[in-house]
Amino acid sequence: MEETVKKKVMLSGIKPTGDLTLGSYLGAIKNWAERADKYDCFYFMADLHALTTRNNPADLRRRALEQLAQYVACGLDPEKNTLFFQSHVPAHAELGWVLNCYTMFGELSRMTQFKDKSAKNADNINGGLFTYPVLMAADILLYQPDYVPVGDDQKQHVELTRDVAQRFNNLYGETFKVPEPFIPRVGARIMDLLDPASKMSKSDEVGNGRVCLMDKPEDIMRKFKRAVTDSETGHCVYYDAEKKPGVANLMQIYSVCTGKSFEQIEAEFDGKGYGAFKPAVGEAVVEMLRPIREEAEHIMRDKAYLEGIYRAGAERASYVAERTLRKVYKKVGLVQK
C-alpha cells in the first residue's frame, strides 16, 4: 500500500497597513510561492494586527482585498495554499488572550519593533501595539507549523513565539509544535532606496524610497535612478554592506531578481559605474513585477472569485485552528462545551 507522507507546514502573514512593497515580496512572499508544492501552506492577511495603527476603514478594507489578489498574483495558488483573513478565524483572538497570560511584561518590553513603533507614534502607544507579538504567537501556534517564512525584522517575534510555546508545553505537556523562522539568505532586509539605513516599509508615508508591487514601470525606473548610493571615486559596484549600504541594497535586489551572485554582478558592472547599474536594477525589478501587477489588476476585477478564495480559506483554516484551541482550553482547565 502506498504510504502518504504528511507534508511539513508553513505559515505566515502580512498586515495590510500599506501597499505591499518590494521588501514584503523579496523578504516574504517570493519564498512562500516557491515552496507551495512542498509544504502545506497557510497564508493570511493580518488585518487584526493592522488595527494597532489608525487606518481609514475604507482604505483598510480595500488594501486587505488587494493584498489577497496580490498573494494570488505572486503565485500562491488558492487550491494549494490556504489563503484567509485573520479576522475570519476567531480562534486567533481567542488563543491570543490565553497566550497573553503566559507571556511576560518584561519579554514584551524588550521587543525592538515595539520600541521603534512607539517612538514613531508617541501619540498612540496602545495596548494592542504592546501585546501584538502575542497575537502573532497565536497566529502561528494555532496551525502547528514547522516553518515561519519571514523577513529579518520578524525574527525576534518568532523567537518569542518559540519561548511561549516551550513555556506552555513545559507546563501542560506537548501542545504546540515549536516552529523555526525561515529567513532568506539574500533579500531578508530590503532597505529604503533614499535612506539605506532604514528598512523599506509599506507604512512609510513619503514613499519615494519604497517600491510597491503595483507601481507603474516608469515610477519604478524613476525611483531606482534616484536611489542613494555613495560618492566613492570611480563609482565602483562591489559589495560592502557597512561602507556602501546603498549599493549593497541595490546588489541584493538585483541578485534576487536575476539569480546572479554578487561576484557576477561585480564583474558585469566592472568599469561601468552607478550610471549603468541603477537603471539595470530598475529594469530587472520592472520585469519581475510586471506579470504580478497585470495579474493582480485582473484578479481585483473579479470580486466573486476573491470571495470564493477567502471563504474557503477561512473554513479550512478554522478547522485546523479550532482543533488546537480546543486542546489548549482543555489543558488550561476550561469547562468543555
Q: Of 30, 199, 223, 278, which is the active-site residue?
A: 199
**Contact between 293 and ligand TYM per CB under 6 A:** no
Residues 151-190 that bind ligand TYM (CB under 6 A): 151, 153-154, 157, 188-190
Catalytic residue among 15, 30, 202, 244: 202
Judged by CB, which is closer to ligand TYM: 136, or 236? 136
Binding-residue total with ligand TYM (CB under 6 A): 25
Task: Find the binding residues for ligand TYM in span 45-104 (CB under 6 A).
Answer: 46, 49
User: Is 136 a residue that touches ligand TYM (CB under 6 A)?
Assistant: yes
Residue 139 in contact with ligand TYM, rule: CB under 6 A: yes
Q: For this structure, is 199 an active site residue? A: yes
Ranges within 6-35 binding ligand TYM (CB under 6 A): 12-15, 23-24, 26-28
Is 202 part of the annotated catalytic residue set? yes
- Cβ proximity to ligand TYM: between 189 and 278 the closer is 189
Q: Are strands 39-45 and 147-149 parallel, antiparallel or unpaired?
A: unpaired
> What minimum distance in Å lies between the beta carbon of 102 and ligand TYM?
17
Instruction: Choose which of 30, 117, 162, 199 interacts with ligand TYM (CB under 6 A).
Output: 199
CA 108 to chain CA centroid, nearest Å: 20
Residue 87 CB, shortest distance to ligand TYM, in Å, is: 12
Measured from the CB atom, is 113 or 305 closer to ligand TYM?
113
Which residues lie near ligand TYM (CB under 6 A)?
A: 12-15, 23-24, 26-28, 46, 49, 136, 139-140, 148, 150-151, 153-154, 157, 188-190, 199-200
Catalytic residues: 117, 199, 202
